[in-house]
């Protein structure tokens, strides 16, 4: 747990969120400002901000997060498809410096 990190606090249950899934290394909850009908944030409990901080262990962790998204997509209302987004840094508009995968769907998503 890193002080003053909103996603660490959500993972620890110190800030309320609409969680749809949790296990020992992962939490998935609804984005507070959804950009699609369904907008989830899939967050590793391990605090790091950037893919440049990946280690072998973290790379395997991220792989498992994506496996879990694929496993649970139907119960999360994403059976017709979904989009994953990882914002990295200023130009991408990353606002929370705890790595997270946006999971978007529930409708046809614009592309272009």
Which residue bears the tokens 């962790």?
A: 61
**Given 39, 47, 72, 100, the catalytic residue:** 100
Q: Is 32 in the site for ligand 5GP (CB under 6 A)?
A: yes
The angle formed by the CA atoms of residues 98, 10 and 101, to the nearest 5 degrees, is 40
Q: Which does 8 bind (CB under 5 to 8 A by kind): Zn ion, ligand 5GP, none?
A: Zn ion
Q: Which does 16 bind (CB under 5 to 8 A by kind): Zn ion, ligand 5GP, none?
A: none
Q: What is the per-residue binding string for Zn ion in 26-65, x denoting contact by CB under 5 A?
A: ---------------------x------------------
Q: Is 100 designated active site?
A: yes
H or E, element range at 85: strand 82-85
């Amino acid at each position: 747990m890193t002080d003053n990190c909103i996603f660490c606090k959500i993972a620890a249950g110190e800030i309320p969120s609409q969680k749809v899934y949790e296990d020992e290394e992962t939490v998935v909850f609804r984005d507070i400002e959804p950009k699609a009908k369904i907008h989830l944030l899939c967050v590793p409990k391990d605090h790091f901000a950037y893919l440049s901080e990946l280690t072998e262990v973290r790379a395997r962790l991220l792989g498992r997060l994506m496996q879990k998204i694929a496993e649970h997509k139907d119960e999360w209302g994403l059976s017709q498809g979904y989009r994953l987004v990882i914002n990295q840094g200023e130009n991408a508009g990353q606002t929370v410096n705890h790595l997270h995968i946006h999971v978007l769907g529930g409708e046809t998503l614009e592309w272009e």
